[in-house]
Structure 1
Amino acid sequence: MLISTMPWSAAPISTRLGAYYAASFLVVGIQLPFWPVWLAGRGLDTQEIAALFAAAIWAKVIATPLIGGLADRLGRRRGVMVALAAVACIAYAALWPAWGFWPLLWLNLVAGVAQSALMPLGDSITLAAVRGASLDYGRIRVWGSLSFIVAAIGSGALLAGNSAPAIPGNSVLALVLAASALLLIACLWIPPAPAATGRSRWAALGRFAADRRFWLFVASGSALQSSHQLYYGFGTLYWRELGFSDTLIGALWAEGVVAEIVLFWQSALLVARMGPLGLMALGGIAGILRWSLIGVVPGLAAAAVLQLLHGLTFGAAHIGAMYFMARTVPPGAAASAQSLYAAVSAGLGSGFAMLAAGALYGAYGGHAYLFMALLSAAGLGGIAALARLGRR
């Protein structure tokens, strides 16, 4: 109650939501490019890194829907988000002295589950504002992408400026801790969402759970998002093998997000013209092209060109999925449905893809990206089937 009466809560809803995404992706922008490098510096090999990432992803399959359901049941999504952000801060702090596979595994699980469960809850609050206040989701979400660029470039510059292995590892972890503290503050600032009654929530859950189109959407979105797992887990290591500097690698990560920003900024127009499923299909087509070429055309020029496709492989697919959810899922079950989608798309499917990515990358190096192209093709096929069902 105190938070909602403070002067800072008078800021526009779009500003408060934008600050939440900025803080969320400040953490991600530090972790995603260089967390595998930090883990390698703590003595883990590629198989152990893949197993650690896969275990964290699979944990989301169970934890994320339960947390989303709890948030809907309590009617206190913001309160649940604050608690999760605090848990993530504590777990990251406990990583500072940790060495060895098992301590790193368990602490990463706690921090990763808490942090990942925040995103579907934040998305459900944002999509409620999109429906109720006619806000533009893309122009709110874009602040997360801008924050990612700052974090990715800054992390790359930090690593390039420190040659001793222990120094950049501690520096990256310190940055993650600081960013996590900012995320906790942003969760305190995020606007509360209206709560549904227990009866209306269960009725809403029953409606979408019985809809086979929803489950086909979940499977298709999972394939499209899972196609990024080799890139997320081993993209930096692959580019290092090609001789790219850490500063250049950070710039390549940032370039992909610039393309994503352009897509997000124009998303309302694109959704109006193509529809949610059209955008998801565009992401699948771009994924087939991107992942088929990235491992067989390894030069810097090719990497720079293919990174532009991230605006479609992630950006278009994500925006399409969010608007599909906003248009088809009843508001009373928004957090539960959003968390279920996140659990499967970023959990079950991505967990298997990450585990396979570790083995494939160890065996085939950059050529393992061809496996990701197959996932994009599967997602595209699912979207085509979903569109046919919608016309019946």
Structure 2
Amino acid sequence: MSDAAQSRRAGLQIRSLYLFIFLFLGGYGNFFPLWLGDMGWSDPAIGWLEALRYACLLIFPLVWGRLADRWRDSVRTLRWVTFGSALAFAPVVIFEDAIGISIALGVFFAFRVGLVPNTDSVTISHVRQTGGEYGKIRVWGSAGFIAGGFLLGFLIEQWGRAIVPIPLAILLALTWLLTLRMTPEERGSAAEERPQRRALELFNDPKLRPLYLITFLSRLASQGLFAFLPLHLQALGVSDAMMPLFWSVGVLSEIVLIRAAPRLFSSWSNKSVLTLCLCAAALQYALTAVVESPWLLLAIMLLHGLSFGVWYVTSVLHIGEHAEPGERSTAQGLFQMVGFGLGGILSSVAAGYIYEGGQGALLFGVATGLALVTLTAHLKVFPREDDAPEAG
């Protein structure tokens, strides 16, 4: 097979992987909290379950990232994390008690949290070797998120919410099978330092430390919102069939803006792009706190393309620019650990109690205040850049 054909094949495999990853997330994010509610879980209990996922994000992204760097092949790591994810989630289909579900999901989270950072690492390596744009590959995940929500919503309309874990388990198995077909990654040798020392060195890098700090603050402000948005929409009268429409609007704006980012922000620095994204986040949360019309909330969800989509892509590209190839998976794992792990666990636990105390208005109001703190910190600590980076 020619080099060009191999490159096209590898690109298609990565796109397909993003598609399957986010097919699962689209179904899980829209309906798993509602399924848990039907199983008798309270709002704080759902928050604690999300906190368990973020607790795994405190440890395992760095473990899987360092393992990929030592193997010099993130695809090999992807095979292990997808296999472990599929195996661990399977008992959720048959368990009914909260303890059994919590144990199964705890093991599942330990594997699953290594999936996205290693996929991002494979993608960055691929585009640096063959050309192209990370954002145009990543949008396949956004499309998968939309499709996953609507497909599971259709199944729920036919058979009820009790079916939720079954298609999710099937998607996890298919994702593992896909990784078995992927082309192994080729890159340079990994650094030899111990994982703890390398992680500290990466965290203290003057180009990366501000990003990690802002990522922590932004996830502290917002990550707990994701589990409770379906409950907030349900309280406003949104039906199960319409639930995926809200995230779909947000993710469609992701797709459009991520694809347009290289043209829109070609002359912008990373700091400028991230400033715009953080402003959009504060505005999105503030409007969601006060707007009660579901149709107006649909329009507000358009801000998600900036507040998360462009923010995430710019952050991943910033890491790719400043981390060496042999430590790139570790750097991406640290990004997940500090922001989505530490920030996520604090946000998720707090969100459960805040939502119980004041429902969506209070939850999104608190998020607005934290988003403004994040924006202020970003303007103060994120370094200026002489050269405008690639935005997507």
TM-score (norm 2): 0.91
Distance 2:220 2:177 in 1: 30
Normalized per residue, which structure has more helix? Answer: 1
**Residue 295 to residue 205, structure 1, CA distance change in 2 (3 Å):** closer
1:86 aligns with 2:83: yes
Note if 1:383 corresponds to 2:367: no
CA shift for structure 1 position 254: 1.0
| 1:351 aligns with one of 345, 351, 354 | 345
- Residues 192 and 278 of structure 1: is their aligned pair in 2 closer, same or farther, counting only changes over 3 Å? farther
Distance 1:278 1:389, change over 3 A: closer
Alignment of 1:90-169 (within 5 A): 90-162=87-159, 167-169=160-162
**Is the 2:223–2:343 contact (alpha carbons within 8 Å) kept by the matching residues of 1?**
no
Partner of 2:324: 330
Check whether the contact 2:53–2:106 (CA below 8 A) recurs between aligned residues: yes
Task: Structure 1 unaligned segments of length 5 or more: list them.
Answer: none
Q: Distance in 2 between matches of 1:230 and 1:314?
A: 14
1:319 corresponds to which residue? 313
TM-score by length of 1: 0.91
**CA deviation vs aligned residue, 1:335-371 (integer Å, no higher than 9, x gap):** 0010111111111101100111000000011121012
In the other structure, the counterpart of 1:242 is 236
Q: Give the superposition deviation at 1:390.
A: 4.9
Q: Contact conserved, 2:210 with 2:382, CA < 8 A, in 1?
A: no
Quick check: 1:91–1:111 contact (8 Å CA) kept in 2? Answer: yes
The one of 165, 170, 173 aligned to 2:165:
173
Q: Deviations over 1:109-145 (max 9, x none)?
A: 1112211211101101111122222221111001111
Structure 2, gaps ≥5 residues long: 387-392
8 Å Cα contact 1:220-1:379 kept in structure 2: yes
Question: Does the Cα contact within 8 Å between 1:280 and 1:318 map onto a contact in 2?
Answer: no
- Go from structure 1 to structure 2 and tell me whether the alpha carbon gap of 1:388 and 1:276 turns closer, same or farther (over 3 Å shift): closer
Identify the residue that residue 231 of structure 1 maps to in structure 2: 225
Could you say what the CA RMSD is over the residues aligned between the two structures, in angstroms?
2.3
Separation (CA, whole Å) in 2 of partners of 1:151 and 1:249: 12
The answer (yes or no) to whether the contact 1:9–1:189 under 8 Å persists in 2 is no
Instruction: Give the SS at the match of 1:254.
Output: helix
Gap change, CA 1:231 and 1:100, over 3 Å in 2: same
Q: Return the match for 2:179 from 160, 172, 187.
A: 187
2:369 — aligned with what? 374
- Opposite residue 172 of structure 1, the aligned amino acid is V
For these two proteins, the number of residue pairs brought into alignment is 381
1:129-182 CA distance string (max 9 Å, x none): 2222222111100111111111111222332334xxxx422x221110111122
Deviations along 1:275-298, whole A, 9 cap, x unmatched?
322222111101111101102111
Distance 1:205 1:296, change over 3 A: closer
Q: Deviation at 1:190? A: 3.2
After superposition, give the CA deviation of every residue in 1:194-253 in whole Å (9 maximum; x if it has no partner): 343344777986763432441221110232234332431111111111111111111111
1:308 alignment partner, SS class: helix
Q: Partners in 1 of 2:375 and 2:307 — Cα distance?
A: 11
Q: Return the letter of the residue paired with 2:353.
A: A
Q: Does 1:62 pair with 2:54?
A: no
Residues of 2 paired with 1:383 and 1:13: CA distance? 36
Matched with 1:310 is 304
1-side partners of 2:188 and 2:39: how far apart? 46
Give the partner amino acid of 2:379: A
Contact 2:187–2:325 (CA<8 Å) still a contact in 1?
A: no
Conserved? CA contact 1:157–1:247, under 8 Å: yes
Q: Does the 8 Å CA contact 1:120/1:335 hold for their aligned counterparts? A: yes
Range with greater deviation from structure 2 (262-271 or 174-183): 262-271
Question: Residue deviations 1:83-103, cap 9 Å, x none?
Answer: 111111111111122122221
CA change 1:363–1:209 in 2 (3 A) is: closer
| SS of the residue 1:309 aligns to | helix
Aligned to 1:294: 288
